[in-house]
Chain A
Amino acid sequence: MSADKTLDLASIRARTADARGRRYWQSLEELADTEAFGDFVKREFPAHASEWLDPVGRRGFLKLMGASMALAGATACTRQPDEAIIPYVRTPEDVVPGKPLFFATTMTLAGVGAGLLAESHEGRPTKLEGNPDHPSSSGATDALGQGAVLTLYDPDRSQSITYLGEARPWASFSQAMQNQLAELKALNGAGLRFLSSTVGSPTLGAQVKEILAALPGARWHQYEAVSRENVYGGAALAFGEPADVHYKLDQADVIVVLDADLFGAGVAGNVRYARDFANGRRIRKATAEMNRLYVAEPTPTAAGSIADHRLPFRASQIEAAARAILAGVEGGAVPSLGDAADKFFAAAVKDLVAAKGKGVVIVGDRQPAAVHAVAHAINQSLGNIGTTVVLTDPIAVDATSQTASLTSLVADMNAGQVQLLVMLDVNPVFTAPVDLDFAAALKKVRTRVHAGLFDDETAELSQWHVPTTHFLEEWSDARGHDGTASIVQPLILPLYQGKSLHEVAAVFSAKPERNGLDVVKEFWQAQPQAAGQDFTKFWRKSVHDGLIAASALPAKSVGKAQVPPVTPPAAGSGFEVAFAPDPTLYDGRFANNGWLQETPKPLTKITWDNAVLVSPATASKLGVKSGDNVEITWKGRTLQAPAWLQPGHAAEALTVYLGNGRRRSGRVGDGVGYNGYALRTSDAPAFGVGAQVRRTGGVTLIASTQGHHSMEGRALVRAATFEEFKKTPDFAHHMGEEAPGKTLTLYNLTAQQRERAVAEHAPTTYAWGMSIDQSVCTGCSACVVACYAENNIPVIGKEQVLRGREMAWIRIDRYFEGDAENPAIYHQPMLCQQCENAPCEVVCPVAATTHSSEGLNDMVYNRCVGTRYCSNNCPYKVRRFNFLLYSDWDTTSYKLQRNPNVTVRSRGVMEKCTYCVQRINRARQDSKVEGRTIQDGEIKTACQQACPTDAIVFGNINDPDSRVSQLKAESTNYGVLAELNTHPRTTYLAQVKNPNAALETELPGMEKEEPRAFPKVPGKDMSETNSMTHAPR
């Protein structure tokens, strides 16, 4: 190493001085955080695919080993006392190497918690599942919940406390803050400001109150790019005080959703809503009732795609729509909103009125407070409040407007009134409204402190940066969407020098050196739930169960809802711009998460990018095709981004996704996509009208995993209306060719020979199968991410996805049918169908894919030579090939995440869905030890477990009483491409929708498609395949 690049050993020592446990780093350059290493990180293409080019040389490896051994000694001295972690299902005595343990914890997003069970392999959390006991989870998670575990092991997380970029020990940070505080105390705290994300943790809320009580001059601000401030504001407008709202969709027969991404990733209560909604529309033999969902929204969302009626509708018109519904419900004069909209809302109103107390109108979080107030009035007038709509005290500790709060903070910063700004778990430099110019204001603050997981855009401009702990490393607490409190339990000691927010906040309180566990425990000791019982017992039970009993917020009784005056329509003509959090990256905090970058966005199927969505008709007016670069001009600002045609998008409207375009997220997320925040101002943080769009020329290559959106008249997703189902329950079997009735054989067996053959192939105890209910699949993609986590699926990067080599074992096929401006949208999860008569098995020259006695189509990685013949011959194209060395064999921290029961595949081998054979085998071992057979429901595949709507059911089809057998006995059960005689073990329940007869007689998809250039085939008219022919065959 040359002299000018000598490592700063002093700084290494400082960085390791108070490291707890092992630290993972790749090189001394990284440890010292030298400029050269920074350059290396930045240069790195965000695909792990390229990393294999830089194998660690043997000598280099030995050097690193030596250095890490030497430094390991330094870390041992300050090890903190062990804290007990209480298992969820098994006691610690049960720890058996190789057997995972599950611990309850909670993941918080924008102040709202969702209960989780974390799977721990010898102390390493590897996979997150929903906590079945937690009301916000009901056992499932969304895509973000599945992806969160990768962020824990992100090698780009910030790893040490820094001052002006140099490593400092915690003590020196604490001391520096004490010095500052001493100075500010004289001023009663004036000049001290906190800026945090939404505080949902009751404990942190109490800490904040305590700090503000001691320093009355200080102020606490909250800012979250995607917040619930309008929900609180709406309740305040309607009832005079802020309130939180949640819905009981299991009680609702008619659901009207106005611009709410109800089932989308990161939305409060999304998982529970999806489960409750799905329970109201599962089609079984005896189903007599089905709920009905109306959705009016500009951008197609998960809820919109499964709705019985969906209306592409501009976000800025939602207020008018809400008022029209109110007028309709109250029997007043209904203003006209256009022909299609009038019909749509009239039908919705009729249904709502008919289902008084069993209906609900839901308004999206981004809609202004006034619209929420109108929705309260509608729900109140229909008697829905108290049945399907529950109002509680706000979950967030502070329910005031965040945008206003941030605006006042920036004004004070610009006025030089802020001496010390402590930013906790926020990245305002990236996410704040662009007109506030937070970065410029920040530079006027004397001392800037940032605490966060990453050395991000805000950390760059702060003098002090404190790495925070990931939620799997810390003690904390949170409230679910209904207010149920739960404990955040650490699964692992902090990998780096992270401090929890409780510990950072404590620095500014009277007792600066406290550990998170004590803070949280102390808070709950004082709470009514813990009163009258032994606290240790209460604590252990709460931590074990993953929730605190009887802590849900009580329903609030409210007076008559006041309807606010009509907001004058926004001036200006032109396009509407609506901002939405990225469907997989949320507000940008998950930008450095490879799984979530690579998971196709549910509706666009775009990976590693974001694009401005426009409707096809609007695009053709603009002369724009998918991928064309456009420039949006709005309020004097411009944004360059690629456009993407989204069938079903509202006309004359643009959807701008937030979350990509990061500059300092890490090696994965940097420079991916465009930054939607560049256009987002404080006066229109959600949407507004008046934008201009023009093509700038040039095309951005966008890696979309599905290029073809029509089913081409093939009976892949079979759908009908509820009425049609009642008339012809087996409609799915009239829509396409059926499997051949008998197995064709060249061998003319005698009766005796046949008997022997049958005996040889005697049914085994188990025959695994799967059923997927398309009536309830929302396409949310939680299963896709779950599969990444469970099966060690590699991330390959944009360039490889563009080449068509994505590795996900389960993909969700999304088809559009009918009018491109408002098509029927279908989701079809597609994974290995485990064919009994598998085309892949016959053609493998080395017998690397074979059939197990229980019907699994096994893949033998060791034996595979990679001819790819199996993939060519797979009609479902669900096989995935390691064209290069895709698995990251080098990054140490990622190794900790891997599921030890699943092989990490190497270059040149084929892979595919195994029905989570490792889970089957785990259950088999357990059952054998206990001398019983595997019970139904004992094995859940990763996709099944993650599914918020319980659309995926796995089990033993040899057991006629198993859930999966009963589903396969349903009349709507059919096999995709079964006519090829593949005998798929995975079958699908046809989609049934419940449209309002008054609105239309047929689903959009049932209508004649636009004529395709296609030859007529005698005996089988191609157009017939797509139409309903209920005549018995």
Chain B
Amino acid sequence: MADRQPPMDSHAAPAPAGAARPPSDVLAPGHSFGSVTDKITSAILRPGFLPGWVFGFVIAFGVMSMFLFAVSYLLIKGTGIWGVNIPVGWGFAIVNFVWWIGIGHAGTLISAILLLFRQKWRMSISRFAEAMTIFAVMCAAVFPVFHTGRPWLAAYWLFPYPNSMNIWPNFRSPLIWDVFAVSTYATVSILFWYVGLIPDLATMRDRARPLIVKRLYGILALGWRGSAKHWQRYETASLLLAGLATPLVLSVHTVVSFDFAVGVVPGWHATIFPPYFVAGAIYSGFAMVLTLAIPIRAYYGMEDFITMRHIQNCAKVMLCTGLIVLYGYSVEAFMGWFSGDPYEGFMIWNRMTGNYWYMYWFLIFCNGVMPQALWFKKVRTNIPLLFCIALVVNVGMWLERFVIVVTSLSRDFLPSAWGMYAGTMWDWMTYIGTLGLFTWLMFIFLRLLPMISMFEMRTIVPSAKIKSEGGH
């Protein structure tokens, strides 16, 4: 029985470095292999539904239905139902796309980079962070397709498929790079997530009572029996995928930033964009991890697994990336002056004092000022306050993309062509709709799959440690 036999885990094995610090702060004391597994599977294997879950699920489903409605109407009428215009050809859709893609980045960072760095605190949050990544990429992918004038063609013309017309996409266009970046990202993320799920799916198979559920988990577990050979292969695959995913953490948002940096529009055309976008992505991603972890932890009573150490670490990453982002804003302002380019100079001045000044200053408050509170441990350990900061950062990162996309376009080279932009009801319905889609998928995930990696958590229970140190 897989769940009864603690694996000879390679994570736990090279103990010396990890052993110096007691792992207790990433797992509350008093847990055994069994108690970890019981706790995590109980959320899934319990009969019936928790009323809170049902309540949330129904609301999320409703919001997601609004999304479907908004998109159907969009397909019937055309992009004109949104607020986009000339000069502001990109609006909510691209803002939302960049925002969602950014959010996904935390999941990949946690599961890939922190895995390579052997950070044990990643174990309890990696599973749902990866789920968050996949769902965020799904929400993100909706926008570039549906924001086009003819989505039914855009859905496949952007891929380099052999065709009788002998036409390839334009490989010089950053949008084509986007297609490759995002589709690679989605593929690797899904693979990584699924591979990581296999041992836990086997546990579920073994624990589930109803035959049909057993069979379903069984199929998904791909015949996992927990043999040493399996573990050895699993570890290799996991490391390889982590190696593949690691550059993606940096490259995907770099490519997304090229959508802007390659353009001539003042406010887009800046070399700072790639690092600044990557930092922003991780910043918003960790804010989203906290936004999700805090309520889940409380609702499912997972405080033992998602401890204050996790929460604090997330806050620290936010603080760090937030400072990089703030540096990005400063460089933009500095370069507006230092470049000597009148258009750049006007651009930054317009951001600060133009028609969308409130957006800019609210963004600076959300992303630059508010997170400075995270310097203080008291703030980092104050759960409600942290939750609020995470929400504020999420809003701030959305505003950042709005400022970049919309403010720049609304005031570019020829004053005669300047125009204003505002999202319409349909823009909001689509955006909020993807929040519904995301939450709805999250609810399904929480109900059907173990939200925390059981087999990884088992490697850090004290009994695993003792055995390992006992030495065979």
* A-to-B contact residues, CB < 8 Å: 49, 706-714, 716, 800, 803-806, 811, 813-815, 828, 830, 839, 842-847, 863-869, 871-873, 875-877, 879-885, 907-910, 976-977, 980, 1013-1015, 1017-1020, 1022, 1025
Contacts and interface: CB of A to CB of B under 8 A. Distances in A.
A49 to B, nearest CB: 8
A909 B150 contact: yes
B249 to A, nearest CB: 24
B343 to A, nearest CB: 8
A871 B342 contact: no
Given A714-B415, A811-B416, A1017-B340, A846 B150 contact: no
Contacts of B87: 804, 871-872, 877
B417 interface: yes
A863 B77 CA distance: 20
A1017 B337 contact: yes
A877 B173 contact: no
Listed residue (A846, A871, A910, A980) with the most chain B CB atoms within 10 angstroms of its CB: A846
B428 interface: no
Interface of B: 77-81, 83-90, 144, 147-151, 153-154, 157-158, 167-170, 172-176, 179, 259, 262-265, 336-337, 340-342, 345-346, 348-349, 353, 409, 412-421
B149 A907 contact: yes
Contacts of A879: 86
A813 B165 CA distance: 40
Contacts, number: 192
Q: Give 3 closest A-B pairs by Cβ, nearest first.
A: A866-B149, A908-B149, A883-B80
A980 B342 contact: no
Given A804-B85, A1020-B342, A883 B265 contact: no
20 contacts: A708-B415, A803-B83, A805-B86, A814-B416, A815-B416, A828-B416, A843-B173, A844-B173, A845-B179, A846-B154, A863-B167, A871-B86, A872-B89, A884-B79, A907-B149, A980-B413, A1014-B346, A1017-B341, A1022-B342, A1022-B345
Given A881-B89, A883-B79, 9 more contacts: A708-B415, A714-B342, A814-B416, A843-B172, A844-B170, A865-B154, A872-B87, A880-B86, A980-B264
A805 B176 CA distance: 26
Nearest to A884: B80
A478 to B, nearest CB: 38
B80 A875 contact: no
Contacts of A1019: 340
B413 A876 contact: yes
A97 to B, nearest CB: 29
B462 to A, nearest CB: 55
A714 B345 CA distance: 12
Given A712-B346, A805-B80, A864 B414 contact: no
B263 A843 contact: yes
Contacts of A877: 86-87, 412-414, 417
B149 A882 contact: yes
Contacts of B416: 706, 708, 811, 813-815, 828, 830
A389 B340 CA distance: 55
Contact of A867 (B148, B172, B262, B340): B148
Nearest to B157: A846
Contacts of A909: 149-150
A907 B152 CA distance: 12
Nearest to B422: A803
Nearest to B259: A869
B98 to A, nearest CB: 14
Given A881-B86, A1015-B336, A866 B79 contact: yes
B157 A865 contact: yes
A830 B179 CA distance: 34
B420 to A, nearest CB: 7
Contacts of B168: 847
The residue among A711, A804, A863 with the most chain B CB atoms within 10 A of its own CB is A804
A1015 B349 contact: yes
B349 A1014 contact: yes
Contacts of B176: 845
Residue picked from A712, A845, A881, most chain B C-beta under 10 Å:
A845
Nearest to B338: A1018
B256 to A, nearest CB: 13
Contacts of A712: 346, 415
A1017 B86 contact: no
Contacts of B342: 713-714, 1017, 1020, 1022, 1025
A530 to B, nearest CB: 53
Nearest to B409: A872
Determine the main DSSP class of A at the interface with B: loop
Nearest to A605: B416
A628 to B, nearest CB: 19
Nearest to B333: A1015
A783 to B, nearest CB: 16
Contacts of B175: 843, 845, 867, 869
Contacts of B83: 803
A846 B340 contact: no
Nearest to A813: B416
A872 B172 CA distance: 16
Given A707-B419, A865-B158, A1022-B345, A803 B265 contact: no
Contacts of A713: 342
B150 A865 contact: yes
Contacts of A706: 416
Nearest to A709: B415
Contacts of B413: 714, 875-877, 977, 980
Given A868-B89, A875-B264, A708 B418 contact: yes
A716 B85 CA distance: 23
Contacts of A881: 79, 86, 89, 149
A240 B264 CA distance: 67
A984 to B, nearest CB: 12
B89 A847 contact: no
B158 A846 contact: yes
B317 to A, nearest CB: 33
A803 B80 CA distance: 9
A876 B413 CA distance: 7
A318 B172 CA distance: 62
Best-buried of B144, B147, B265, B342 by chain A (most CB within 10 Å)? B342
A95 to B, nearest CB: 36
Nearest to B410: A804
A1015 B415 contact: no
Point out which of A813, A828, A881 has the most chain B C-beta atoms below 10 A from its C-beta: A881
A845 B158 contact: yes
B264 to A, nearest CB: 5
Nearest to A1014: B349
Contact of B148 (A708, A865, A1017): A865
Given A881-B86, A885-B78, A711 B263 contact: no
B173 A865 contact: no
B329 to A, nearest CB: 16
Nearest to A885: B78
Contacts of B414: 716, 813, 830, 875-877, 976-977
B79 A908 contact: yes
Contacts of A872: 87, 89-90, 263, 265, 409
A869 B78 contact: no
Given A868-B90, A980-B264, A815 B149 contact: no
A15 B346 CA distance: 64
Contact of A876 (B90, B169, B174, B417): B417
Contacts of B78: 882-885, 907-908
A869 B345 contact: no
Contacts of A865: 148-151, 153-154, 157-158
Greatest chain B CB density within 10 A among A844, A882, A1017 is at A1017
Contact of A842 (B84, B262, B412): B262
A863 B167 CA distance: 10
Contacts of B158: 845-846, 865
A132 to B, nearest CB: 32
B424 to A, nearest CB: 9
